[in-house]
Structure 1
Amino acid sequence: MTVSPKKKVNPLLKFVLEMGPLGLFFLANSKPALFTGLLAPALPAGLTPEKLAILTSTGVLMVSVLAALIASRALTRQWPVMPVVTAVAVLFFGGLTFIFQDKLFIQLKPTIVNGLFGCALLIGLAMNKLLLPAALDSVLHLDEQGWRKLTLRWGLFFFVLAGLNEAVRLTQSWDFWAGFKSFGIMPLTVIFALSQTPLIMKHEVKAEDEKEHF
């Protein structure tokens, strides 16, 4: 069976696909009236303003994450690993949020997903199964030592994100948490990724020589 080659996506477009759902989530929470018409069939009657904002923003997040995933699949001809897992989690926990009308489920999603990512990477590392290359869709070309170091760091960082989400969820208001989810987690992730540049440069190998290192 012939596998279609993966297409490269314009970095700006990739950024929009990643940040778009979070931006819409924040906007829907701040201005639910802009989206309630579109989500009216799924919204129960008699909601308090806070629950209306929670359910509206959650619904917008579910739809936009799914749309971004489909767009990514159409552009790259592949299903990206981490966005697929994230989309499934958003749909699952978002669905529970709608069923029980409880913000707890969508707030727990980052904690559980980041925890699962961290466990998967570190357990895989302990079993000599490097999962990070697949998770990053082969964007980087590193030697085995580099992948092992990067896997350890990313695994620990995912646990840090899970802990931060819990700290904010337990101590701050819904609106503060929504802002942190939209504009806090991604910048922290970008900063962490950039901080790994020295490690990546030290262990980077040419693509044509990569087979010799594995």
Structure 2
Amino acid sequence: MTARPTPGWLKPALELGPVALFFAGYLWLRDDTFLIGGREYDGFIVVTALFIPLILASTAALWWLTGKLSQMQIVTAVLVTVFGGLSVWLNDERFFKMKPTLIYLLFAAVFFFGLWRGRSYLQLVLSEAMPLTHAGWLLLTKRMAWFFVGLAVANEVIWRTMSTDAWVNFKTFGLPIAMFAFFIAQAGLMKTHATAPEGED
């Protein structure tokens, strides 16, 4: 599929928009209870049910506009559908709260497997954006794998020991901030292991 010219803001909006709408919807409905089909659902479950088609529509729009999807986008859409669907079906918010844990552990496992084979699967995704030496990619991949393990542990601790409000804030703001901070912290590695773009000395 051929990618179509799109405004620069559209792709980030499609990626971050569903999360922002989930947060806004939760703030709006968190104190409400809904009777649907003779069964009571709290606001969190209703917002989760609305989030599933929203993330699928966003992912489909990204594919239609860009002609490709990253593995992270595909895995996220699948796990949102499966675990969000389980939360709605069983009327149990715990399944949806486990989703980030599984996403991060899955990618950590993939990265560790690649390192075991002497390869950086992170390089396959980011090589165009960050030209690094092979040693640099291996080191960055190792750090990111452990970072994902840390995020998985943090998600488990927060959803199991804190309120739903705290977990929603962590998911909406904490995870993106942690990811941003991680890459900022890798500035030294990127400088040390940077390579010139192809065709340049």
**Cα gap change, 1:45/1:64 in structure 2, threshold over 3 Å: closer, same or farther?**
same
Matched, 1:14 2:26: no
Q: 1:119 is matched with which residue? A: 109
Give identity over the alignment, percent: 32
Say which SS state the counterpart of residue 42 (structure 2) adopts.
Answer: helix
Instruction: Report the Cα distance in structure 2 between the residues aligned to 1:74 and 1:206, rounded to whole angstroms.
Output: 33
Instruction: Give the Å deviation of 1:137.
Output: 7.0
Instruction: Give the Å deviation of 1:14.
Output: 3.3
Q: 1:197 is matched with which residue? A: 187
Instruction: Give the Å deviation of 1:196.
Output: 1.4
Structure 1 contact 28–56 (Cα < 8 Å) conserved: no
Instruction: Report the Cα distance in structure 1 between the residues aligned to 2:58 and 2:183, rounded to whole angstroms.
Output: 22
- For residues 158-184 of structure 1, the C-alpha deviation after alignment (integer angstroms, 9 at most, x for no partner) is 011001101111111112211211111
TM-score (norm: length of structure 1): 0.81
**Cα gap change, 1:188/1:45 in structure 2, threshold over 3 Å: closer, same or farther?**
farther
Structure 1: tracts of 5 or more residues without a match: none
Matched, 1:176 2:166: yes
Matched, 1:30 2:20: no
Q: Alignment partner for residue 167 of structure 1, among 152, 157, 173?
A: 157
Report 1:43-192 matches (<5 A).
43-47=36-40, 51-136=41-126, 138-192=128-182
Structure 2 contact 111–142 (Cα < 8 Å) conserved: yes
TM-score (norm: length of structure 2): 0.86
Structure 2 contact 111–122 (Cα < 8 Å) conserved: yes
- For residues 114-138 of structure 1, the C-alpha deviation after alignment (integer angstroms, 9 at most, x for no partner) is 1111111012111123211234374
- Structure having the larger proportion of residues in helix: 1
**Cα gap change, 1:23/1:87 in structure 2, threshold over 3 Å: closer, same or farther?**
same
Structure 2: tracts of 5 or more residues without a match: none
- For residues 13-41 of structure 1, the C-alpha deviation after alignment (integer angstroms, 9 at most, x for no partner) is 333222211111111112139xx99xx9x
Deviating beyond 6 angstroms after TM superposition, the runs of 4 or more aligned structure 1 residues are 5-9
**Cα gap change, 1:162/1:8 in structure 2, threshold over 3 Å: closer, same or farther?**
farther
Instruction: Give the Å deviation of 1:89.
Output: 0.9
Per mean C-alpha deviation after superposition, the further-off stretch among 15-24 and 164-173 is 15-24
- Kindly report the root-mean-square deviation, in angstroms, between the aligned alpha carbons of the 2 structures: 2.7
Instruction: Report the Cα distance in structure 2 between the residues aligned to 1:94 and 1:137, rounded to whole angstroms.
Output: 33
Instruction: Report the Cα distance in structure 1 between the residues aligned to 2:115 and 2:199, rounded to whole angstroms.
Output: 23
Amino acid of the structure 2 residue aligned with 1:170: R
Matched pairs, number: 198
**Cα gap change, 1:24/1:5 in structure 2, threshold over 3 Å: closer, same or farther?**
closer
Amino acid of the structure 2 residue aligned with 1:145: A
Amino acid of the structure 1 residue aligned with 2:21: L
Say which SS state the counterpart of residue 190 (structure 1) adopts.
Answer: helix
Instruction: Report the Cα distance in structure 2 between the residues aligned to 1:16 and 1:175, rounded to whole angstroms.
Output: 24
